Amino acid sequence: MQDIRDYIESQRNAFEDDLCHLLAIPSVSADSKHRSDVRRAAEWVATRFRELGLQSEIVNTSGQPLVLAESPDVPGAPTVLVYGHYDVQPPDPLSEWITPPFEPTRRDGNIYARGSTDDKGQFLTHVFSTQAWLATRRSLPLKLKFLIEGEEEVGSQGVNEFLEDPASRRRLACDVAVISDTCQFAAGQPAITYGLRGIAYFELRLSGPRQDLHSGTFGGGVTNPANALCKMLSSLIDGQGRIQVPGFYDNVLALSDRERQQFAALPFDERDFMGQIGVEGLSGEASYSTLERRWARPTFDINGIWSGYQGEGAKTVLPARATAKFSFRLVPNQDPHKVAASLATHLRSVCPPGIQMELIDMHGATGVVVPLDSPYMAAASRAIESGFGKAPVYIREGGSIPIVTRFKTSLGVDTLLLGWGLNDDNAHSPNEKFCLADFHRGIQASARLWAELAECKV
Amino acid sequence: MQDIRDYIESQRNAFEDDLCHLLAIPSVSADSKHRSDVRRAAEWVATRFRELGLQSEIVNTSGQPLVLAESPDVPGAPTVLVYGHYDVQPPDPLSEWITPPFEPTRRDGNIYARGSTDDKGQFLTHVFSTQAWLATRRSLPLKLKFLIEGEEEVGSQGVNEFLEDPASRRRLACDVAVISDTCQFAAGQPAITYGLRGIAYFELRLSGPRQDLHSGTFGGGVTNPANALCKMLSSLIDGQGRIQVPGFYDNVLALSDRERQQFAALPFDERDFMGQIGVEGLSGEASYSTLERRWARPTFDINGIWSGYQGEGAKTVLPARATAKFSFRLVPNQDPHKVAASLATHLRSVCPPGIQMELIDMHGATGVVVPLDSPYMAAASRAIESGFGKAPVYIREGGSIPIVTRFKTSLGVDTLLLGWGLNDDNAHSPNEKFCLADFHRGIQASARLWAELAECKV
């Protein structure tokens, strides 16, 4: 495969420039004022596929469009579905970015931009590896299908609707799926992620008096929605980090002793980790290590909260309203619908007099673990060793990629989670970045992956 | 006094127009960008006094200026200090105002504007009653001193500094103080307020990781400042509305049985009250009635809280910071400094690992009760009955007027709290208003007050 390797080396600058073009499009799916930007990103991706000579189509959904593409059939070789997403998280707080989020900037061997690692930079490695095969060999050793969506950051409604349709499922039929939207274990230590957490995301809106009141004249007599919100949210978790929603832990897949041993054997230094994120201590569910808590235990996190006066000085107001966004990370076998139902019952039971509550179930997904002993997993391990010069370790990750569960239930396939990112890439944070060396190693690993997977019996 | 009554009647439109001029100045003391507007309001008030022929001066402080004025000595008659404030609360949320906060608008017998009832409309009644005496009788029956400040809504630092100086205290020496910055008991039922709550106002700033993190990758492993803030604030009050800061209730002045009976005898309808503010239930400290909780029991209210993502959609972020503004209303004998010290110790004890906390003590004041059996109180009762056509009831109020305690400790005098406002005037809220009939009745009552107080032995 030296010809393909050489081609990829020769295109370093061109690949980086192409990546920058896509990163410059502010395709923020959570914000309706970026709707046309999201569309523009979809069109950019579809155009890219057509330039490679692949069949490509933009499929409109009730939300953001899907980009589909596929290469010709290769009899006897497996069909691989590559999934990625061209939408990105909102970039705020904008003031904390060193360079603007949608002006991609090369610095210290990284490319800085919103979406650089999550997921534009990562999914493009598979597009560019395909380009390398087609440019040097004129064909691929297996059949590739691409599904690149635009609502991953807001719940993937469009792709879920698409997968409801049997014709769509036939169209995406495959033997295994590949996603690069996770992290390596550490810089210089690639990994294959075999487990992901699910999520159940909510917004809780409390309203009390018709309008803001004077906290002197009314305080003590009237239920304060901000007080109520803090109490209600605090009731969801105890001082030991155990979630208090009734039945929450009923179906939690426990960590096996072997997994706990494997996690403990990984070169994870808690002091380094604290230094990296800038804290002097950690906390979470009692009796679990930091890696266990991040990868394989459910959590409760407030993602946003607001009420009352946020300006300068002291305003003695009893706010009329209080709102929070919060989410539970789920582990395999927990059902987000059951969590939502139990949560709603619990919150209603603790909502005090004089407060109206509205609980919005924003999106949910189950957690997943994929088998470690498949031939596809072995093929992926060899490809990564070839691209990165080091064999991967097997890890789990705390984030949620609901589509992995969806592929299992809708298409009957497992997913290879081959992450080229790093934990300090600032995904979802200011100054998101992607290591350019990993970008190029990812393209090499992907090109090798097509060869390795082509050898798997179907 | 028919001549004075007639003069006040004849000036209705002129007094209202004058009030509108002052209300149009956005003298928001909490917001430094309104600094020049605050100054402009002070100058407007000082000019008004000079036009009446009173000696007047603007005294600069470390904060906003004080306006002082006084009338000539009247041997044998008491000296009365009239206090008011020309600063106002911030007007937000602006979108909820029917007419803009600084475009005074007459509607349904009320004048709508920020500051209309709190306190521009109320203190001006004493200025206009003075004008009435001077226009009809050329002199007052007693000596009046005016102290109109511009930082009442943010802690009155300037006036407190001024009162530190013995020369200032001699300048303000008096027999009794008068403040109109409270409410009648209800429309048609005037009241004298003999008790006020104090306040201890804080801002709590928590910081965790250096920047916002992905709640999937990091959630469960890293302490979430928003979770911590809700837990810490919730630890300040139990499910029965009892504040949990150690020692908080140690010196609380209990309600006497007689007070509880008096409060219970007032025509207060809880259903009407709930309808007025738009809630379907009330809550607060167990075992106390709504009036008791609002007037004579300490409280804990979150005045503002913010952290993380407040935009549209779902952002899976673990916020780097979380902040709240909150305050305790205090009752007589509670010391805001002791509350602040105990609070700081308590919060530090419940602050979880990985969180840095900063507690800012923004301002404090003690609560107060004034004696009901003084000749000044009887004089005020007669004046109100004359101006409003009905004898006042004696009530307490939940708000804080720290200057009342300050006058007692610095000048050795009690204060008559003669409120012309109504509880539904929306002080500190959108659509603040003042009933124009009460404005004119207040001017009449004030004019009579100077005559009644002049009869008190000194």
The answer to whether the CB atoms of A354 and B313 lie below 8 A apart is no
- Chain A residues near residue B93 by CB distance under 8 angstroms: 212
Task: Return the exposure string of B58-72: e unless at least 16 CB atoms fall within 10 Å of the residue's CB, then b.
Answer: ebebebbbbbbbbbe
DSSP string, B241-301: S-B-STTTTTT--PPPHHHHHHHHHS---HHHHHHHHT-S----STTS-HHHHHHTS-EEE
Query: What is the rounded radius of gyration, in angstroms, for the C-alpha atoms of chain B?
Result: 23
Contact predicate A87/A29, CB 8 Å: yes
pLDDT at A372 over 90: no
pLDDT at A274 over 80: yes
Tokens read off for A387? 């691209």
Tokens read off for A58? 């933009």
What distance in Å separates residue B120's CA from the closest CA in chain A? 17
In 3D space, the residue among B229, B355, B202 whose CA is nearest the CA of residue A233 turns out to be B229
pLDDT reported for residue B408: 92
- In the three-class reduction of DSSP (H, G, I as helix; E, B as strand; rest coil), residue B44 is classed as helix
- In a structure prediction context, what are the per-residue pLDDT tens digits for chain B, which is 458 residues long? 999 999 999 999 999 999 999 999 999 999 999 999 999 999 999 999 999 999 999 999 999 999 999 999 999 999 999 999 999 999 999 999 999 999 999 999 999 999 999 999 999 999 999 999 999 999 999 999 999 999 999 989 999 999 999 999 999 999 999 999 999 999 999 999 999 999 999 999 999 999 999 999 899 999 999 999 999 999 999 999 999 999 999 999 999 998 999 899 999 999 999 999 999 999 999 999 999 999 999 999 999 999 999 999 999 999 999 999 999 999 999 999 999 999 999 999 999 999 999 999 998 989 999 888 899 999 999 999 999 999 999 999 898 887 998 999 999 999 999 999 998 899 989 999 999 999 999 999 999 999 999 999 87
pLDDT reported for residue A322: 98
Task: Return the exposure string of A110-147: e unless at least 16 CB atoms fall within 10 Å of the residue's CB, then b.
Answer: bbbbbbbbbbbbbbbbbbbbbbbbbebeeebbbbbbbb
Q: What's the 3-state SS for B231-244?
A: HHHHCCECCCCCEC
What distance in Å separates residue B289's CA from the closest CA in chain A? 8
Provide the ipTM. 0.80
Nearest to B234 among A224, A234, A293 (CB): A234
Contact predicate B349/B342, CB 8 Å: no
Side-chain-facing half-sphere of A337: CA atoms under 13 Å:
0
**What's the longest Cα–Cα distance across chain B?**
79
pLDDT reported for residue A423: 85
pLDDT at A340 over 90: yes
The verdict on whether B87 is a catalytic residue reads yes
The answer to whether the CB atoms of A230 and B230 lie below 8 A apart is yes
Lowest-pLDDT choice from A21-30, A238-247, B362-371? B362-371
pLDDT reported for residue B144: 98
Tokens read off for B354? 């990985």
Kindly report the backbone phi and psi dihedral angles of residue A49, in degrees, each rounded to the nearest multiple of 5, phi listed first: -65, -45
Strands B110-112 and B433-435: what pairing? antiparallel
User: Which strand (E) or helix (H) includes residue B200?
Assistant: strand B198-207
Tokens read off for A157? 């409604």
pLDDT reported for residue A194: 94
Testing the interface with B: which of A197, A202, A203, A215 to mutate, by most B Cβ within 10 A? Answer: A215
Q: Show which of residues 11-70 on chain B sit within 8 Å of chain A, judged by CB atoms.
A: 29-32
The answer to whether the CB atoms of B230 and A305 lie below 8 A apart is yes
Tokens read off for A49? 């596929």
CA B19 centroid distance within chain: 19
The answer to whether the CB atoms of A217 and B29 lie below 8 A apart is no
The answer to whether the CB atoms of A233 and B227 lie below 8 A apart is yes
Q: What is the spatial distance between Cα B144 and Cα B162, in angstroms, rounded to a whole number?
A: 19
Nearest to A279 among B222, B317, B327 (CB): B222
Q: Which tens digit of pLDDT belongs to each residue from A137-191? A: 999 999 999 999 999 999 899 999 999 999 999 999 999 999 999 999 999 999 9
pLDDT reported for residue A16: 98
Tokens read off for B452? 């009644």
Alpha helix segments (H runs only) across A304-374: 336-350
Chain A interface includes B415 (CB < 8 A): no
In 3D space, the residue among B38, B211, B201 whose CA is nearest the CA of residue A309 turns out to be B201
Chain A interface includes B350 (CB < 8 A): no
From residue B169, how far is each of A100, A159, B54, B59, B173 by CA, in Å?
57, 75, 19, 14, 6
DSSP string, A28-87: BTT-GGGHHHHHHHHHHHHHHHHHTT-EEEEE--SSSPEEEEEPPP-TTSPEEEEEEE--
Kindly report the backbone phi and psi dihedral angles of residue A260, in degrees, each rounded to the nearest multiple of 5, phi listed first: -65, -40
Terminal alpha carbon distance of chain B = 23
The answer to whether the CB atoms of B315 and A431 lie below 8 A apart is no
Nearest to B222 among A224, A282, A310 (CB): A282
- Chain A residues near residue B319 by CB distance under 8 angstroms: 302-304
Q: What is the spatial distance between Cα B259 and Cα B296, in angstroms, rounded to a whole number?
A: 10
Contact predicate A134/A52, CB 8 Å: yes
- In the three-class reduction of DSSP (H, G, I as helix; E, B as strand; rest coil), residue A131 is classed as helix
- Expressed in percent and rounded to 5, the helix, strand and coil fractions of chain A are 40, 25, 35
Strands B191-196 and A198-207: what pairing? unpaired
A327 to chain B: closest CA residue: B316
Q: What is the spatial distance between Cα A327 and Cα A345, in angstroms, rounded to a whole number?
A: 16
Chain A interface includes B197 (CB < 8 A): yes
Contact predicate B172/B59, CB 8 Å: no
In chain A, the percentage of residues whose pLDDT exceeds 90 is 93
- Active site (catalytic) residues of A: 87, 152
With 0-12 CB in 10 A as exposed, 13-18 as middle and 19+ as buried, what is A2?
exposed
Peptide bond preceding B75: is omega within 30 degrees of 0, i.e. cis?
no
Q: What is the spatial distance between Cα A368 and Cα A333, in angstroms, rounded to a whole number?
A: 8
Q: What is the spatial distance between Cα B7 and Cα B19, in angstroms, rounded to a whole number?
A: 17
Rounded to 5 degrees, what angle do the CA atoms B418, B424, B429 make? 105
Testing the interface with B: which of A301, A318, A328 to mutate, by most B Cβ within 10 A? Answer: A301
* Cβ contacts of A26 within 8 Å, gap of 6 or more: A34, A37, A88, A91, A101, A102, A114
pLDDT reported for residue A371: 85
- Chain A residues near residue B239 by CB distance under 8 angstroms: 231
- The one-letter amino acid code at A181 reads D
The answer to whether the CB atoms of A314 and B154 lie below 8 A apart is yes
Residue of A424 and B310 predicted with greater confidence: B310
Testing the interface with A: which of B214, B321, B426 to mutate, by most A Cβ within 10 A? Answer: B214
Tokens read off for A187? 């810089």
In 3D space, the residue among A90, A77, A60 whose CA is nearest the CA of residue A145 turns out to be A77
Rounded to 5 degrees, what angle do the CA atoms B221, B227, B230 make? 160
Alpha helix segments (H runs only) across B351-428: 375-388, 402-406
Say whether pTM exceeds 0.95.
Answer: no
Contact predicate B147/B415, CB 8 Å: no
Nearest to B221 among A209, A284, A313 (CB): A284
Q: Checking phi first, is residue A218 left (phi over 0); if not, alpha (psi -120 to 50) or beta?
A: alpha
DSSP string, A210-240: SS-EEHHHHBTTB--HHHHHHHHHHTTB-TT
- Chain B residues near residue A211 by CB distance under 8 angstroms: 96, 278, 426, 429-431
pLDDT reported for residue B60: 96
B228 to chain A: closest CA residue: A234
CA B417 centroid distance within chain: 11
Contact predicate A80/A447, CB 8 Å: no
Strands B191-196 and B415-419: what pairing? antiparallel
Chain B interface includes A216 (CB < 8 A): yes
Contact predicate B367/B336, CB 8 Å: no
Q: What is the spatial distance between Cα A139 and Cα A134, in angstroms, rounded to a whole number?
A: 5
- The one-letter amino acid code at A404 reads V
Which domains are present in chain A?
Answer: 2-197+367-454 (3.40.630.10), 198-252+298-365 (3.30.70.360)
Tokens read off for B77? 């008659």
Alpha helix segments (H runs only) across B303-410: 336-350, 375-388, 402-406
Q: What is the spatial distance between Cα B85 and Cα A237, in angstroms, rounded to a whole number?
A: 45
**Given the residues B149, B152, B259, B425, the one annotated as active site:** B152
Q: Which tens digit of pLDDT belongs to each residue from A210-224? A: 999 999 989 999 999
The answer to whether the CB atoms of A308 and B302 lie below 8 A apart is yes
